[in-house]
Chain A
Amino acid sequence: MTPDVPTDDASVIARLERRLQRERQARLEAESLAETHTRALCEQTRRLELLEAVTAAANTDGDPLQAFQIALDRIASFTGWPVGHAWVAGPGGVLRTSGLWFDDGRHELQPFRTITRDMRFAPGVGLPGRTYAAGACIWVELLGEDPLFVRGDVARSCGLKSGFALPVHAGDRIVAVLEFFSVRMIAPDTELLRVMDQIGFQLGRVVERHNAQRANRRQHRKLARLAREASAQARAAEAASRAKSAFLAVTSHEVRTPLNAVLGMAQALSTQPMPQDQKALVGDILESGQMLLRLLNAVLDFSRIEAGQTLAHPEPVDLPALVDAVARMWAPSFSEADVQLLVDGKAFEGCRPVMCDRGKVEQTLVNLVSNALKFTPRGGEVRIRLSGPDQSSLAHFEVTDGGPGVPIEDRDRIFMAFEQTEEGRLAGGAGLGLGLGLAICAGNVRALGGQITADRDAEGRSRFSFSFQAPESSRALDVQPSPGPVEEPDGRLSVLAAEDNASNRKVLGLLLSQLDVDLHCVEDGAAAVRAVSERYWDLVLMDANMPVMSGPDAVRAIRALGPAYRDLPIHMLTANVLEEDVTAYLRAGADGVLQKPIDVGRLFHVISTAGHAPPEKAA
């Protein structure tokens, strides 16, 4: 295809020159394209950097105003526009100054700043208001000539020519408007506005985050306050409950001391010869005093239960015999109230005793029987039923009465302390009006590892039932020390009593006058220690609270006198009989504790055993 072309040098040169010219032309064009592309790339990079900076600020700054200031600075330096300002939206979308400005320090701008500071823009009014209403950027090419630009005159006098504003979107609201002004007239730049739109959304995120955090903090503070209140209320409730128990315990203790005197005196009086009508009166005094005593004991039991101090002490127990004994004890009261008491122990198997805490079972049963009696009208019937042990070695007690029973909604509540049904309150019940009886039952049954419930039997009669672990006992029944006839001691017993209360000393004297005892009293612990060290005693009865030296301290001191004093029988005789007190006494060296008001039988028992102790001469 090679064409015919002139091959002379001039033609060749001419052709080559033309080729060169074309090459040069192509190169120039290529360079021009390259420059254009490079510029475009640079612009794009700067726009990206601007967006990146604003986004970074939006993501890290917690304070929206700080992010706005950064945005103002960055946008102004990117665009080269010397003036930037931020409006914040208030209620109703009214824009007011945020106080944030960017300017490069031109003094001529002062009037513009001043007028801006005092202005408010409603939605749709002025550049800021129109931007707010449109939700998009707005560009004003010539500020002085745009009638919609409210600050036109001031702007013109300050040398400001063009302006644009961008909205800051937070969620679906516009929370701010940023505006920028230049001293040159600049035509709208769509690329720039596109970036500004994005910036508006990025900045909005700071505001959203800020608001969310504030809401979070408020919520957190509220929750913390509620938690504090709840825990304060819980503590107050606990404190109130503890205070109730403590009050009861203290009161009961304070009452015991004079009650001891009353019962003791009355008992002593009852042994003296007197006409029948006077004897009857003394009998009444004793009965009322004993009722008082029962109440006090109930309170003490309850306070022990509340303090969680009840442990079960299992021993071999003949349950049918226990039921019979309770029935016999209550028989007179039932016949007087004209209520029938029936015992059904046929469903109980086994002749062997079972291991359980006798005292707790008996007290629970007695409380339930007492309640049943109170609630059953004349001519009615109360049934005690014992059954078991079943496959799980549980023994079951049921006490059904002729009373109105417990409404379903109250059945859990009544086993709590101080809780009673309406009828219960009126009738008194085993808690004697305080609502403690069933709480004591519940505490006992808990200690026995069992359950107690209130419901109705198949015939619809009110029924209380409790069950507990009753494994067969391998041991034989313990022989109970009977408070029966007292063995005469060998010779007169010498008994030292330390008691600071005069009437208690008198009671003790009266009680022991029935026996052949040589009683000496001292009034404080120190005197007791002195007396022990000076001569021999068969038995020391020690009160707990005394002046000069307390009972336990005195016991410790006596034991420390020497090895000979280890075997000296010392029994506390005191109204302080909480479990922690008893533990303390025994640890101090006491041999036992006699509760006030004095149980005469137990006192005599202690004395009779003391009498058998081999006499030890004092060192």
Chain B
Amino acid sequence: MKGIVFNLLEQVVSDHYGADTWDSLVDAANVGGSYTSLGNYPDSEMEALVAAACSALSLDRATVLKWFGVNAMPLLAKAYPELFEGHPDARSFIDGVNDVIHSEVRKLYPDAVCPHFRMANADDGDLMIDYRSSRRMCALAEGFVAGAAAHFGDTVDFTHETCVDRGDRCCTFRLRWMPAGADAVAA
């Protein structure tokens, strides 16, 4: 996993709980802790850090990852505003995750292994997304969607229809855009 993801995690944790907390997570996870954005680091280090956060917060992995995704999105918007500009809403932004966002990611990080999301428009206007990855980061994806919706001021109803955690072969998400004013997806 590219170092930037670790940098984001450090940033989010430090912003919400302080740098000391991050230090303790690093110690608890027994990892090196120094991540440069362009570097490559084992996925296991990320898992270890997430596990350390779970036990420190008494939350499950999915909740931690989701919290991370929601709060990482504003940081990304600040660091790479050009990826967000030009999209009228979150749906347009999410539509371009494969072609636009990940291709930009690969320009900076040529060896990044980004997951591919299979997207389809359902008959009722909902957006169906397939997620397959050995990293099993579906909760992070849900967090990113919620973060994007918040950034664009949209309200999205995210349903995790199938999940590998529940024994399904892959994860599928159903995204339904709610009219403005409805409750935003809980962060």
Q: A residues bordering B, Cβ < 8 Å?
A: 1-3, 5, 15, 18-19, 21-27, 29-30, 33-34, 37
Contact = CB atoms under 8 A, between A and B. Distances in A.
A21 B32 CA distance: 10
A2 B20 contact: yes
Nearest to B16: A1
Interface stretch (B33-41, B68-76, B98-106, B177-185): B33-41
Contacts of A29: 34, 36, 39
B23 A15 contact: yes
Contact of A23 (B26, B34, B57): B34
A271 to B, nearest CB: 121
Choose among B26, B33, B57 the residue with the greatest number of A CB atoms under 10 Å from its CB.
Answer: B33
B17 interface: yes
Given A1-B21, A3-B20, A29-B39, A22 B34 contact: yes
A34 B108 CA distance: 12
Nearest to B53: A1
B56 interface: yes
A8 to B, nearest CB: 14
B159 interface: no
A25 B38 CA distance: 13
Contacts of A24: 34
B18 interface: yes
A25 B32 contact: yes
A2 B18 contact: yes
Given A2-B17, A2-B18, A3-B56, A18 B35 contact: no
19 contacts: A1-B57, A2-B17, A3-B20, A5-B20, A5-B23, A18-B23, A21-B34, A22-B34, A23-B34, A24-B34, A25-B32, A26-B35, A26-B36, A27-B36, A29-B34, A29-B36, A29-B39, A30-B39, A33-B38
Nearest to B22: A19
A298 B169 CA distance: 111
A21 B33 CA distance: 10
Sorted from nearest, which 8 A-B pairs have the closest CB atoms?
A25-B34, A30-B36, A22-B34, A26-B34, A29-B36, A3-B24, A26-B36, A33-B38
B19 interface: yes
Interface of B: 3, 17-21, 23-24, 26, 32-39, 56-57
A5 B28 CA distance: 13
Contacts of A23: 34
A3 to B, nearest CB: 4
Contacts of A15: 20, 23
Nearest to A36: B38
B17 A1 contact: yes
Contacts of A19: 19, 23
Contacts of B38: 30, 33-34, 37
A394 B35 CA distance: 108
A33 B39 contact: yes
B44 to A, nearest CB: 18
Contacts of A2: 17-18, 20-21
Nearest to B33: A22
Nearest to B26: A22
A3 B34 CA distance: 21
A351 B89 CA distance: 102
Contacts of A3: 20-21, 24, 56
Given A22-B26, A27-B36, 17 more contacts: A2-B18, A2-B21, A3-B20, A5-B23, A15-B23, A18-B23, A19-B23, A22-B33, A22-B34, A24-B34, A25-B32, A26-B35, A29-B34, A29-B39, A30-B36, A30-B37, A33-B39
A5 B27 CA distance: 12
A34 B37 CA distance: 11
B24 A5 contact: yes
Contacts of A5: 20, 23-24
B144 to A, nearest CB: 22
Choose among A24, A27, A29 the residue with the greatest number of B CB atoms under 10 Å from its CB.
Answer: A29
A227 B34 CA distance: 84
A24 B23 CA distance: 15
A38 B23 CA distance: 33
A569 B56 CA distance: 145
A21 B18 CA distance: 18
Contacts of A30: 36-39
A25 B21 CA distance: 20
A35 to B, nearest CB: 12
Nearest to A33: B38
A233 B11 CA distance: 94
A25 B33 CA distance: 9
Contacts of B19: 19
